[in-house]
Structures are given as structure tokens and as C-alpha cells.
Amino acid sequence: MARTPQTRATRTDRAPQLRYVRTFGCAADRLWKLITAPEQLSGWLGPTVLSDTQYGGFMVVAGPRVEQTGIVTVCEPPHYFRAAFDDPPHPASMVLVDVIPGQNETHLILTHGGIRQSLLAEYDALWTGAFDRLAQVADVRWRAEPRG
């Protein structure tokens, strides 16, 4: 079961950022698949398409008027990736994700930086809702698997 979340909004020299620390009751390899495989992402984040598998391009549709495109710029499976979200004509915002195995759980740290001030509340709502759905998917699948 997901534990009490920690969320922090901070101000940097460039732009605000959101940082989330979540603990999920599943194995690290399961969580990695849930956050990187398009068919798994679609179950908790929104319909997701890898638009360019060779170069890491993607598109996520998280709501009726929310469509985000971007590119994965660094990926070190099964522990870390960085993705740039497009926001023309503004600079791209950056999402950094760390997956940290624990003894009986897995920790996820997501930092979304370079966000325009006017979009901070919108991204916070997007991530908070997405993590709630991810916890349901991760925890349900974990309970169905034998532990140990």
C-alpha cells in the first residue's frame, strides 16, 4: 500500500519545480515497467504513445484538453530516466524519475522542474492524481503476486 506522500514545491533560479516522494508496495522491476512501458503508463497516467522509439519521443494524453509531448533524454533502466516535456514557445520542462528498491517496497522520486508559474497548480493536480492511480495499480498487482 502506498504510504503518505510527500510533495514539495520549491522556487529555483530558473522556474518552480515540484518534487514527489512516494513509496509503493511492489518490487522495483514492477514499478519500472509501470512507469516506462506505454501500455502500463496508459493504465494510470493517460493514453501514452511512443512516437519515436528510436529516439525516445512520446505523447501522453492525460485529459480531454491535456496533451503533452516530449522526449526521453537519459534512461538508465531500471533506476532512472529524464524526460523533457515540450511547452512551445516556452522552454521545455524537465522530469527526473528515480526508482529506489527497498526491502518490502519501492520508492519513487519524481522531480518536475522548469515549470512556468502559471502551470504549477495544473501539473501538481496531474501528478497527484496520477500517483493515486499508480498506487492502486501497483499495490493491486503486488497483492496478486507471491511475496518473497
For the whole model, what pTM was predicted? Answer: 0.78
What are the residues facing 93 on neighbouring strands? 85
What are the residues facing 22 on neighbouring strands? 108
Q: Show pLDDT as tens, one digit a residue, over the chain (148 residues).
A: 445 455 555 444 557 899 999 999 999 999 999 998 888 888 898 777 766 655 677 776 665 556 778 888 888 999 999 988 887 777 789 999 999 999 889 999 999 999 988 889 988 998 999 999 999 999 754 444 444 4
Residue 126 CA to residue 109 CA, distance in Å, equals 16
Residue 135 CA to residue 117 CA, distance in Å, equals 28
Closest CA to 106 of 27, 48, 33, 29: 27
Sequence spans of domains, the chain = 17-138
Residue 18 has a CB neighbour count (10 Å cut-off) of 22
17-138 CATH fold: Alpha-D-Glucose-1,6-Bisphosphate; Chain A, domain 4 (3.30.530)
Place of cell 503533452: 68
What's the angle, vertex CA 117, arms to CA 114 and CA 119, rounded to 5? 90
Torsional class of 133: left (φ above 0), alpha (ψ -120 to 50), beta (otherwise)? alpha
